[in-house]
Amino acid sequence: SAVISQKPSRDICQRGTSLTIQCQVDSQVTMMFWYRQQPGQSLTLIATANQGSEATYESGFVIDKFPISRPNLTFSTLTVSNMSPEDSSIYLCSVSLAGTYEQYFGPGTRLTVT
Amino acid sequence: QQQVKQSPQSLIVQKGGISIINCAYENTAFDYFPWYQQFPGKGPALLIAIRPDVSEKKEGRFTISFNKSAKQFSLHIMDSQPGDSATYFCAASIRGTYKYIFGTGTRLKVLA
């Protein structure tokens, strides 16, 4: 398995601002993913964070709104840009170890936009 | 076709009983089926997973039953305990992508 930390754990932000969420893993991993979980709902994949190249976004999510970086095999950031109250969600980072389908999730970042 | 349908939405079980959660899918390109447990304020934790070439997998009190022809799989929690009270998600991974599609979740409450 892998130990994953996220910063911040929660934040309250003003409409129109941006927040960058960090994801740190304790070992080198092949795949890193970012999910959104709206209150009381399921998880929706935002994008796959690719090391050294642009992230791969799922339908309905765009780079201008959710820019992602992954400078190395243990770290990634997700920025939520120009926030609106509809962006209030839990944002989760997950990782998959080389050659496996198992995904391990971080504790999440609870974002509230006012 | 990318959906994973999960039922029931909520479930109440007496302590010591069996909790059963069901999922169904359409896309035959799914080839890995994990179950996650999520407590409030925490990230989902991997419980158990199965591939379609296996009909059943058991780990402790947790069992996955898989019916490939029916495109259905289920989680059975034997001897359910109050500490099992959580939200459970099934998921499916598309062959070769490592990406997950999650079910809608089941909120389980085990009564003491």
Quick one: closest CA in A to B96, which residue?
Answer: A101
The distance of A101 to chain B (nearest Cα, Å) reads: 6
Q: What pLDDT, on the 0 to 100 scale, is given for residue B85?
A: 98
Among B47, B102, B104, the strongest candidate for a mutation testing the A interface, having the largest count of A CBs within 10 A, is B102
> What pLDDT digit, counting tens, does each position of A46-96 carry?
999 988 888 999 999 999 999 999 999 999 999 999 999 999 999 999 999
CA distance B26 to B21: 18
**pLDDT above 70 for A15:** yes
**Contact assessment for residue B34 and residue A102, using Cβ atoms and an 8 Å cutoff:** yes
Q: What pLDDT, on the 0 to 100 scale, is given for residue A52?
A: 83
Say how many C-beta atoms besides its own lie within 10 A of residue B88's C-beta. 24
Q: Cβ–Cβ of A108/B43 closer than 8 Å?
A: yes
User: Residues near A41 by Cβ (< 8 Å), separated by ≥ 6?
Assistant: B104, B105
- The answer to whether residue A104 neighbours chain B at the CB level (below 8 Å) is yes
> What pLDDT digit, counting tens, does each position of B68-100 carry?
999 999 999 999 999 999 999 999 998 888 899
**Within its chain, how far is the Cα of B64 from the centroid?**
7
Average pLDDT over residues B45-57: 95
Higher pLDDT, B18 or A39: B18
CA distance A57 to B15: 43
Q: Cβ–Cβ of A92/B44 closer than 8 Å?
A: yes
**pLDDT above 80 for B39:** yes
**pLDDT above 80 for B66:** yes
- The answer to whether residue B30 neighbours chain A at the CB level (below 8 Å) is no
Among A101, A104, A105, A110, the strongest candidate for a mutation testing the B interface, having the largest count of B CBs within 10 A, is A101
Percent of chain A clearing pLDDT 70 (strictly above) = 100
Tokens read off for B74:
């289920």
Q: Cβ–Cβ of A45/B104 closer than 8 Å?
A: no
> What pLDDT digit, counting tens, does each position of B4-33 carry?
999 999 999 999 999 999 999 999 999 999
**Contact assessment for residue B66 and residue B54, using Cβ atoms and an 8 Å cutoff:** yes
Q: What pLDDT, on the 0 to 100 scale, is given for residue A11?
A: 98
**Rg, chain A, Cα only:** 13
Among A29, A32, A42, the strongest candidate for a mutation testing the B interface, having the largest count of B CBs within 10 A, is A42
**Contact assessment for residue B64 and residue B19, using Cβ atoms and an 8 Å cutoff:** no
The distance of B16 to chain A (nearest Cα, Å) reads: 27
Please state, in angstroms and as integers, the Cα–Cα distance from residue B67 to each residue in B11, B22, B56, following that order. 22, 11, 9
| Mean pLDDT, rounded, of chain A | 94
Percent of chain B clearing pLDDT 90 (strictly above) = 93
Tokens 């034997």 belong to which residue?
A: B78
Q: What pLDDT, on the 0 to 100 scale, is given for residue B1?
A: 65
Q: What pLDDT, on the 0 to 100 scale, is given for residue A48?
A: 95
Quick one: closest CA in B to A103, which residue?
Answer: B46
- The answer to whether residue A23 neighbours chain B at the CB level (below 8 Å) is no
